[in-house]
A and B are shown apart, each in its own frame.
Chain A
Amino acid sequence: MLGAMGEGRLAEGGRPGRPPALVGLFALEEFSDEALLKRLGLRRGSVLFQGFLLLLLATEAHKNGAELRWNTMEALKESLLSFLEEERNAKALLAGLGPGERALLPISRGSKPEAALRRAVKDLHVHYHPRDLVRRLLKRLGSRLHPPSYLGSLLQACTPEAWAAATPLSGAFRGVFALLGESYDLAAPAFERALAPCFVLAFLRGEGRVARPFRESPPHLTLDRRAPRLWYRKECWVARVRPGKSSPGELYEKASPLSEKRFGPRIPSPAFGKLLPEWYKALEAWGHGECPEGCFPEEGYDWDLVAEYRNALWEALASPGKGGRT
């Protein structure tokens, strides 16, 4: 009984990750406003718009405990549909949507909104890869997204969490650890402790080249052969070096307790720097020399703190003049 009541309240008071104050602030309802959609270049019925909608619904379902498959948009749609087959799930998802989000779906106020939701999901166009979708969404943002001057004071916090929050896509930042964890068959937090945030930052910005984080220098990083450290513009070193084992050639093999995995995966950098050049340029300007050492989170990241920094960043972005857009 408690569970059922809890669910109702969750939908009513806002959900974790979608805080009530910010719902008002971001006014997702405005997405039903064609002019705003147009400004973003998201035409109703376009592939981008449909992809955006699928992501929106999938995030909502994920919050409701759905176990979705994210490997392709097709798999995501299929798993979302099987989650929605249960009437209870479809109801919960609908209850979680704001009026604006509901307006995005072709659901009339009439008879069976659950069936209409399923139909709407079924009709979504999904023949592309998540990476393509994200790139195209970011491309739309590229010229419009102005980094707030707040980034400067954020980086002054000088915590790894601040670095994670300062990247344009903090979800992708966390994703790097998850990907490494999966590739090496180890827990992601092990990588959080072993890799400096500036490594992740540089990797995400990258140039689309392939990186093997424990074997070779990733794009944008230089290996200082005299001192066996890998530097990112002299701001901080990239991976922990165990004392006593310092031959530069074997840096990566000894860089962390993970070195017994000798064959690191090859991961192409997503090259977000090309899509959001202004933001990255600002980061570089602000971040330069701010956080020389102590970049490693001793016990992994406090992702709650990342979310709070992110929150503060949104506020700054939304209020020009108060450390907002420059």
Chain B
Amino acid sequence: MRPFRELLQEALAAAKEGRTDRFGHAFREEAERHARLGPRGEDPVARALDLGRQALRHLARGEREDACEKLSQALELHPSLGGGLALDLAEALCPETDLRHLRKRLAPRKEVPPELPLLDLLDRLPPEFWVEVLRGAPRTRSSTRKGQAEAEAPPRPRESPPRRPRPSVPRPRIPFTYRPLRREESQGEKQERTFLTSLKTSWEPPKPTELRRWEARGLEVREAGRRLYLRVLPAFWKAYPQAALLVLEAGRARVLVPLLPAAGSLPLPVDLKGGADLVAEVWSWEDLTPETLAELLREGRFYPDLLGIWLLYGMKQGLIPPEVAEAARRWLERGS
């Protein structure tokens, strides 16, 4: 449904041109849909919005006088309906109605608290922005892009942006959902993921006739030959192009899965019961400082050979400083 204010805007444009008798089909449908919503509450603002919506329906049907009546009723209750657009519309549409007292009530005040424009701006930001604010974790940045941006950046302004210590930065976390596969199903076959089928599979306890499988966005952990393998799908690389390492939280264990772009599926050094919790944390090459690497190697479970190959790869590609990689390799040798 389009916002009420957009409809008001369109009606206002039409009223100013004197073509309120020729609304398009889309507008009429939208106005009907709005009017059908009915009042949400008994307070003046909710009632005014309802009346305003009814006015638009009258207008869309070509009933100008009824529209004017509803509009002025609404405005008496809430003069700034539609952020003032409703009053504008009434003035353009209903020259016979005296609305000056309402206009007066809407007149700008002299002293406006300075915080209002700021709050107003924040209000108008789309949900996508707030998703990022609430998610809280800075996405990993490409190191080359970062270098470029720094080269182009203007001299640093007086206030420097906050720098948080690396280890406290929360990283993107991807929860898995347990969706076992039936054995008779061909493994490569993509299961239809309708609401009902997912509900059914996840509520049923795992049976021996099933293959264990966990799914997440762009990731899949699946049983094959009694071992668990992680598959990294293209969607994952699209979302996290700079991902270097996954830390899987499986129950109490932390499992390190080094990501090698060429490797199709990677074996996991743990076994999990069907239905167990599984969350993946995404680490980028930038996140891997000597301290964080040391901590990960100390706490996590991993295949040392695989990790060694991965460190070599990162070093050769220039993704991780040689001294950091070498230190980690020494750690590996000492540990094994």
Q: Which residues of A are in contact with B by a Cβ distance under 8 Å? A: 6, 9-10, 13-22, 24-28, 30-31, 36, 39-40, 43, 45-48, 50, 52, 55-56, 58-59, 62, 68, 70-72, 74, 123, 125, 127-132, 134, 136-137, 140-141, 144-145, 153, 156-159, 161-162, 168-172, 174-179, 182-183, 185, 188, 260-268, 270, 302-305, 307-312, 314-315, 317-319, 325
CA distance A158 to B42 in the complex (A): 9
B73 to chain A, nearest CB (A): 15
Cβ–Cβ < 8 Å partners of A267 in chain B: 134-136
A144 pairs with B9, CB closer than 8 A = no
Extra inter-chain contacts (14) besides given A25-B108, A308-B45, A308-B78, CB under 8 Å = A13-B88, A18-B83, A20-B84, A20-B88, A22-B80, A26-B116, A30-B114, A70-B126, A72-B138, A168-B119, A171-B122, A178-B130, A302-B37, A308-B46
B132 pairs with A72, CB closer than 8 A = yes
CA distance A52 to B175 in the complex (A): 34
A24 pairs with B108, CB closer than 8 A = yes
A19 pairs with B83, CB closer than 8 A = yes
B112 pairs with A30, CB closer than 8 A = yes
CA distance A20 to B82 in the complex (A): 10
CA distance A182 to B109 in the complex (A): 41
Q: Which 7 A-B pairs have the closest CB atoms?
A: A19-B83, A175-B130, A21-B84, A178-B127, A16-B5, A263-B175, A128-B161
CA distance A315 to B79 in the complex (A): 10
A176 pairs with B134, CB closer than 8 A = yes
Given contacts A263-B176, A302-B37, contact A317 B113 (CB under 8 A): yes
Question: Of A20, A55, A158, which contacts B85 at CB under 8 A?
Answer: A20
Cβ–Cβ < 8 Å partners of A308 in chain B: 45-46, 48-49, 78, 81-82
Cβ–Cβ < 8 Å partners of B118 in chain A: 40, 52, 137, 140-141
A39 pairs with B114, CB closer than 8 A = yes
Question: Of B45, B122, B127, B158, which contacts A46 at CB under 8 A?
Answer: B158
CA distance A63 to B145 in the complex (A): 28
B157 pairs with A162, CB closer than 8 A = no
A175 pairs with B127, CB closer than 8 A = yes
Question: Of A46, A59, A153, A305, which contacts B125 at CB under 8 A?
Answer: A59
Question: B102-130 vs A: 1/0 string, CB under 8 Å?
Answer: 00001011001111111111111111111
B160 pairs with A47, CB closer than 8 A = yes
For chain B, which range describes its interface: under 10, 10 to 19, 20 to 34, or 35 or more residues?
A: 35 or more
List 12 A–B pairs whose Cβ atoms lie within 8 Å, in order of A's numbering. Answer: A16-B8, A47-B159, A72-B132, A125-B153, A125-B157, A129-B136, A131-B134, A144-B113, A263-B277, A304-B49, A307-B5, A308-B46
B52 to chain A, nearest CB (A): 9
CA distance A262 to B127 in the complex (A): 25
B157 pairs with A145, CB closer than 8 A = no
Given contacts A6-B13, A172-B133, contact A134 B122 (CB under 8 A): yes
B132 pairs with A130, CB closer than 8 A = yes
- Chain B residues numbered 295-315 whose CB sits less than 8 Å from any CB in chain A: none
B238 to chain A, nearest CB (A): 13
Cβ–Cβ < 8 Å partners of A158 in chain B: 41
B134 pairs with A175, CB closer than 8 A = yes
A146 to chain B, nearest CB (A): 8
